[in-house]
Chain A
Amino acid sequence: MKAYKVAIFIFSIIACLAAIAALFPEEGITAGEITLNFPSLSEFTSEEQVPEQPELTPEELLAIRAMQMRQEQEEGFINFFRENEAAIHFPADDSAYHYLDPLFEALDGADSTLVRIVHYGDSQIEEDRISNMLRRRLQEQFGGQGVGIVPLYQSVQSQTIGQSCSYEPTRYSVFWLSSFRRKGSRRYGPMGQLAVINSNINLSIVPRTKVTGFYSAHYFNTLTLITAPQNTITAGLKGKRQTINSDGSNLQFTEFQLQDSTTTVNLSLAGAGDVYGVMMTGKTGVNIDNMPMRGCSGTIFSGIDSQQLKAYFAYTNTRLIIMQFGGNSMPYLKTQKAIDNYAATIGEQVRYMQRQAPNAQILFIGPSDMTTRIQGKMQTYTWLEDVDNALMKEVTDAGAAYWSLFKAMGGKGAMAQWVRSGLAGSDYIHFTRKGATEVGNMLSNALMTGYDYYKWRQREFAPIPKAQPQVNTLSIDSNSYTK
């Protein structure tokens, strides 16, 4: 075959394809459930239409964010709170930005007591991601030990501690598939999940340091077992065994006092009953619970027994509840009505948690940017920005604070860039560990800017009126065992 014939063949093919491109409808040809697409001629001839995305790379953006925070502090905290996209949005009725003061006051007093921050979230916070960085920062500044509460059986290992059980106990969860629900009971405990044991089970806990390196969270001197009141459980630690009391309260807290340098522990449980979790803490300082709820969109809290939540928040002196949800709803929110309904449900959940933890402030973190393929290009979900705005309005109207992760990470199209920079995975939804560290850092910075403002006001102006903590009237049993 002559070469010129081959050249004609190639050009003919290109001409045919160009003709198809010229004639092909832009919205594609739909036949039943299938839509055929083909690029239009203008896509070849004009400059490629890049989906909306920040001009800066995430690295540049992160660096600028940090610098901006420093500058904004100098120029005035108020401007920062009002204008910066990485700042926490305060409740609608808090024009003076004082909402988090009770938390900051508690943190200042953490040298003599335990202060708890509970971080609920979807799979973005699995493996102790984001929480880990916040914990590290706060424990460095205010002291404290331990990782807080963990479930008896951990299906996704944390990057901070390793857990292994001698067998997988029966588990129930309020946030997972309906087959995991517990019929006729809302007593899922503070984590929204529980393990039911009916024979001997051993739990061993070891530090995991490869990612995080050794830090305060790996050490603890108090181990607290949290169980249901009606049980026949006996717990053994370091060769000594004791029976857990059952006194009819909503949660049974059983404390074991250990050496200050403890990082590894083997707990054996016998008998039968519900176990809500195991808590590792120091005696003072900050404690941050990482409570991932895979697949959850944050609408399940009212499905947890209110007395149990109250008992937990009161016993642990919880002063901040972080709720980080929204990503799992994104693919299903496709109308303004659906968005409004979802935001309203979240508003109700926030109010519900406010009632259960009257001493705690609430910070809701909205969905990150999430990208999907729209007409062949990776773009932010069409409704994501609307969801973020609707959530912010509902949450702040409900009297809680809101942090827009979507805006903080760069807004529309940011996720595609984070993926390219190795800060997010190729599902265009989840952060990598590196990305989660950056988000944790940014969140800590946003929070601590509020703290700086609080301290600045303390120095410069009149003292802050002290929040009046409610008297804890719950009956809490505490078995103490000192090694």
Chain B
Amino acid sequence: MTQFLQHIFSFDPNSPLLFTQFYFWAFFAVVYALFALLQSKRLLRNAFLFFVSLFFYYKTSGLALLILLFVTLSDWLIAKRIEKNRDRQHDRRAKAWLIISVVIDLGLLAYFKYAYFFTNMVNDLLGTDMQVFDVFSFIGNGFTDSGPFNVDKIVLPVGISFYIFQVISYTADVYQRRIRTVGNLLDFGFYVSFFPQLVAGPIVRAAEFIPQLYKPFHLSKRQFGIAVFWILNGLIKKIVFSDYLAVNFIDRVFDNPLLFSGFENIAALFLYSLQVYADFSGYTDIAIGVAMLMGFYLPKNFNSPYKALNPQEFWRRWHMSLSKWLKTYLYIPLGGNRNATFGTYFWIITIAAIALILTGSWLATAIIAAVGCAVALVAILMPQRRKKIYANLNSFITMLLGGLWHGASWNFMIWGGLNGIGMIVYKLWKDLNWHWRIILLTLITAALYTLRHFYPIPVANLFAVWAGVIWCGTLIRYIWFIAQKSYTIAIITRKKYLTELTTKLANAWAVLQTFTFITFTRLFFRSGSNLDPATANHEAWETAKQMVQQIGSTWNTNIIPQVLIQYDKVFILFFIGMIIHWLPDKFKQWYRLNFAMLPLWLIAIIVIITVVFVYQFITADLQAFIYFQF
């Protein structure tokens, strides 16, 4: 019995409480039973959920709980100071408190998440060989004789990136007078640590969630059905479309790209796009469902992101809670689409300087300096374009820092940077007329093919083929554009069904292009994930390079059918996943609502069938290892 209790209540790093495990649901059932007893007393309910959340976090992260408690307390106290000073019109003092709070929060995040990144950077810059040293473990060891903590390693506390952003949003919202402070520490602690969204989001902004703290529990039958739907949807996404594809195909390729052919590498990239979406959105779907069962509403975090017509729209559909956070607390304070602030220049100069020093290349310096001068010149000579330049700079910085939020290695910076570039290129493209578009694209494509001719390196091959595909699509659209100028054709094409058809085709083309672009950026995202932070920079870069090498080298097309046949389950799942993803929103809403309206006994049967179904994927035999490339 003692052992059983110890197993339940102690921290075991190998068995965290995950949504995909039975133990979580047993935990949730017990929590919900107690919640049902307490829900009518608001403060008691919130306090109970706060302590349950702390227990949940302790089971997941052990002593990192202390960090969560610390930021909860510090931001709660500081926000009170800010509000007090704001009420007395002491704006400077309020601002100073805000800065103190942000420095504490970001300092902790930097320490636990970016210590290795900064150490590597300093070592690269100065040629030193410094190692990280965990001060907290050192202090902890001081209290005991046995020295239980390892000082040579800094362990990243689970979910720290999420809850730090939440507390920052709280103090910032109090400073901006969007909300009043939360009087009771238990209420505030509940907001920060609410367990469904604690470790993987969505990032709940204070202004959106705090009003819910004061509302009584209410759950309609339809909401209940929707909540169950989200949970099942999330479980299927996570276990069927994410874990199964990852284990049976994607991880193998990313772990050792050279063992696989170009086709397998590119397939792994596209499959990874589905996997990462299914994984992340699946987890947040479950979080939304679980929270909804308790009467709390978390913001929608994904809106079929691969339906996006362009990179800008993608970021309005992908990890929406982060995008909104970055927009509110980074992009707009930087100046947004109106002007540039000190922050804009500071970040641009800092990032460029670090990148230049790290590359150690005069050519890179010259290129960046030339681009910088050209942008500055346009801004000086063409005041009407200045706003757009500011907006682009601010969104680029936001994307870069947003990239770094995802992980502490250069790969994530590159990933963020590529997304920033994608957005800027799209904005510039949008402003061009069709003649300029085709001229520019023809020149770029020709340049890439020339480069490829003289330097047949894989990356040149890859870009040349990609540019060629985009050029073909653009040419067809250009011809269509020109043809419509002809009176006869214009009369014909004005027919409604034809207009609808061409619009659909154009949209499908835009969706595919955006999907391909986002998939390419994933090259840098995935290869930087799940790595030992001490070697992440080097390994991630090597993996990305090896994949480009394989994808950009000559393909043996004979093996493609064999690959498809041998990995039939994997590819069938991928296509099913993408088809579901691309189903019209209205249709999805229709079946979601219809599910919610079903009688309870039928919902229960569907739940049971779904659990049995997903369990088959957990226990499915692994795909045998097959080589296709010689």
Contact = CB atoms under 8 A, between A and B. Distances in A.
A432 interface: yes
Nearest to B541: A210
A177 B558 CA distance: 12
20 contacts: A3-B35, A6-B32, A6-B224, A6-B293, A10-B29, A16-B604, A44-B22, A126-B258, A127-B258, A171-B630, A211-B542, A294-B630, A372-B621, A425-B251, A425-B252, A426-B255, A430-B255, A430-B256, A430-B259, A432-B256
Given A10-B28, A157-B258, A429 B615 contact: no
Interface string B514-556: 0000000000000000001000000000100000010000100
Contacts of A210: 542
Interface in A30-47: 36-39, 44
A7 B33 CA distance: 5
Given A10-B28, A10-B29, A36-B612, A372 B219 contact: no
Nearest to B250: A426
A472 B259 CA distance: 39
Given A10-B25, A173-B630, A295-B627, 19 more contacts: A1-B219, A3-B35, A4-B36, A6-B36, A9-B604, A10-B32, A17-B608, A36-B616, A39-B22, A39-B615, A126-B259, A157-B258, A210-B542, A373-B622, A427-B251, A427-B252, A427-B256, A430-B256, A432-B255
A375 B28 contact: no
B573 interface: no
B619 interface: yes
Contact of B29 (A14, A156, A429): A14
Chain B interface bracket (under 10, 10 to 19, 20 to 34, 35 or more)? 35 or more
A229 B292 CA distance: 78
B249 to A, nearest CB: 10
Contact of A427 (B32, B220, B255, B542): B255
Contact of A3 (B28, B217, B607, B612): B217
A33 to B, nearest CB: 11
Contacts of B221: 1
Contacts of A38: 612, 615
A180 interface: yes
A151 to B, nearest CB: 11
The 5 closest A-B pairs by CB, nearest first: A376-B619, A425-B255, A426-B251, A3-B36, A427-B252
B310 interface: no
Interface of A: 1-4, 6-7, 9-14, 16-17, 20, 36-39, 44, 123, 126-127, 155-157, 168, 171, 173, 176-177, 180, 210-211, 294-295, 331, 372-373, 375-376, 422, 425-430, 432
B35 to A, nearest CB: 7
B143 interface: no
Interface string B5-37: 000000000000000001001101100110110
B358 interface: no
A1 B621 CA distance: 41
A328 to B, nearest CB: 8
A9 B220 CA distance: 14
Contacts of B219: 1, 3, 6
A331 B26 contact: no
A152 to B, nearest CB: 14
A376 B600 contact: no
Given A39-B615, A425-B252, A294 B258 contact: no
Contact of A123 (B35, B612, B624, B627): B627
A163 to B, nearest CB: 13
A426 B252 contact: yes
A429 B604 contact: no
Contact of A14 (B25, B35, B600, B627): B25
Nearest to B15: A48
Contacts of A331: 624-625
Contact of A37 (B22, B25, B36, B616): B616
Interface in B129-171: none
Given A1-B219, A7-B33, A373 B621 contact: yes
A239 B600 CA distance: 84
A441 B565 CA distance: 39
Nearest to A173: B630
A295 B25 CA distance: 44
Contacts of B26: 14
Nearest to B25: A14
B229 to A, nearest CB: 14
Contacts of B181: none
A318 B549 CA distance: 34
A10 B27 CA distance: 11
B458 to A, nearest CB: 11
Nearest to A431: B256
Given A3-B36, A155-B629, A168-B554, A17 B611 contact: yes
